[in-house]
């Protein structure tokens, strides 16, 4: 038997169909704040993404390996076969396999739900799918840390180890009332009233799973340096600095085109900058002033 679990992330409805015995409160605590009543009879709304557990799933012998990557969530390998995408994930010995429909709106997966890390694996699979589906809704999943100051959101990007989380903490210390929205994978959507950043259930190693949102005021790519310096960007420079932090299955030409279209629009609406910085309070002040003055 299955149990249906519905969530609302960045205004998009996600439905997980999991074995009835799987304890989502323990296995998926990061989804708790995003629980939705979308399954109520009166809702009448189809989910943007449906992810269903199945007891058995086998990768076709003719599947083509696209690429493989390591992250804090394990090793993920991407395959293609007959117009469908396949994902395999191995996290601390817990292995999963997922088959995704051509439009990325539906997926089935198999994993040992009794494994201690099964919840982490299910969360990772849903994160990978959400990053694709949000592109179809004028959005982008961005690998970044994000704070909210005076009801406006600021996103900090950079290579792993650059100090995105540190810079967010510096803003929180430098500007009273500033709060962390998400520390790894916030989502941006371009809505009729402008770009807006949403917290998501995926925040890396930081337990910051907040179902909140705020208008996006600035995006800054960080790099470590022995000094603090802010540089405003526009046009292709702005696009090029934000692009590496955007999540997309780049082998899919349609999705990649949607990413580029969404990102071009985003960079035309939001201030983008480049910040060379030390891990000090002055860096936060210079960054904030730099965004405010252009």
Q: What is the pLDDT of residue 75?
A: 86
* 99 and 190, same domain (yes or no): no
* 242 and 260, same domain (yes or no): yes
* 127 and 155, same domain (yes or no): no
- Domain holding 217, by residue range, is 139-292
* 62 and 93, same domain (yes or no): yes
Q: Is the pLDDT of residue 40 over 50?
A: no
* 203 and 110, same domain (yes or no): no
Average pLDDT, the chain: 94
b/e code 108-147 from CB counts within 10 Å (16+ = b): bbbbebebebbbbbbbbbbbbbbbbbbbbbbbbbbbbbbb
- Give 53's contacts (C-beta < 8 A, 6+ positions apart): 2, 16, 17, 18, 19, 22, 108, 109, 110, 111, 113
Residue where a domain stops, chosen among 76, 105, 137: 137
- Give 279's contacts (C-beta < 8 A, 6+ positions apart): 163, 166, 167, 170
Per-residue pLDDT of 283-293, as tens digits, reads: 999 999 999 99
Q: What is the pLDDT of residue 70?
A: 83
* 132 and 148, same domain (yes or no): no
Count: domains in the chain: 2
Q: What is the pLDDT of residue 38?
A: 57
Per-residue pLDDT of 207-234, as tens digits, reads: 999 999 999 999 999 999 999 999 999 9
* 116 and 146, same domain (yes or no): no
Residue where a domain stops, chosen among 137, 153, 183: 137
Q: How confident is the model at residue 44 (pLDDT cuts 50, 70, 90)?
A: very low
* 152 and 280, same domain (yes or no): yes
In the chain, count H helices and then E strands: 6, 17
Q: Which of 185, 209, 197, 188 is nearest to 149 (CA)?
A: 197
Mean pLDDT score, 156-183: 96
Mean pLDDT score, 103-122: 95
Residue where a domain stops, chosen among 93, 115, 137: 137
Mean pLDDT score, 186-195: 98
Contact 153, 214 (CB under 8 A): yes
* 192 and 249, same domain (yes or no): yes
* 113 and 145, same domain (yes or no): no
Percent of the chain scoring above 90 in pLDDT: 88
Q: What is the pLDDT of residue 180?
A: 98
Phi and psi (nearest 5°) for 269?
Answer: -110, -20
Q: Is the pLDDT of residue 39 over 70?
A: no
Contact 118, 94 (CB under 8 A): yes
Mean pLDDT score, 88-96: 92
Q: What is the pLDDT of residue 45?
A: 67
Predicted structure pTM score:
0.94
* 145 and 277, same domain (yes or no): yes
Per-residue pLDDT of 116-157, as tens digits, reads: 999 999 999 999 999 999 999 999 999 999 999 999 999 999
b/e code 5-26 from CB counts within 10 Å (16+ = b): bbbbbbebbbbbebeeebebee
What CATH number has the domain bearing residue 189? Answer: 3.40.50
Q: What is the pLDDT of residue 43?
A: 41
């Amino acid at each position: 038997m299955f149990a249906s679990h519905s969530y609302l992330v960045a205004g998009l409805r996600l439905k997980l169909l999991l074995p009835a015995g799987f304890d989502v409160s323990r296995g998926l605590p990061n989804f708790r704040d995003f629980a939705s009543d979308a399954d109520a009879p009166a809702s009448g709304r189809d989910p943007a993404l449906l992810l269903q557990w199945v007891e058995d799933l086998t990768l076709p012998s003719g599947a083509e390996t696209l690429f493989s990557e390591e992250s804090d969530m394990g090793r993920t390998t991407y395959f293609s076969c007959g117009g469908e995408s396949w994902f395999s994930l191995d996290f601390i010995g817990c292995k999963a396999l997922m088959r995704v429909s051509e439009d990325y709106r539906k997926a089935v997966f198999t994993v040992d739900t009794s494994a201690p890390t099964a919840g982490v694996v299910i969360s990772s699979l849903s994160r990978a799918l959400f990053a694709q589906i949000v592109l179809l809704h004028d959005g982008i999943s961005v690998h970044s840390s994000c704070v909210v100051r005076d009801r406006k959101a600021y996103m900090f990007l950079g290579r792993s180890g650059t100090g995105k989380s540190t810079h967010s903490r510096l803003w929180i210390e430098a500007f009273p009332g500033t709060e962390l929205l998400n520390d790894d994978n916030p989502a941006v959507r371009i809505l009729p009233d402008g770009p807006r950043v949403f917290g998501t259930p995926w925040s890396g190693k930081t337990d910051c799973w907040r179902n909140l949102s705020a208008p996006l005021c600035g995006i800054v790519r960080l790099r470590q340096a022995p000094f603090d310096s802010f540089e405003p960007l526009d046009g292709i420079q702005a696009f090029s600095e934000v692009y590496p932090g955007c999540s997309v299955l780049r082998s899919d030409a349609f999705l990649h085109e949607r990413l580029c279209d969404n990102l071009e629009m985003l960079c035309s609406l939001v201030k983008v900058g480049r910040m060379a910085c030390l891990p000090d309070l002055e860096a936060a002040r210079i960054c904030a002033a730099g965004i405010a003055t252009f």
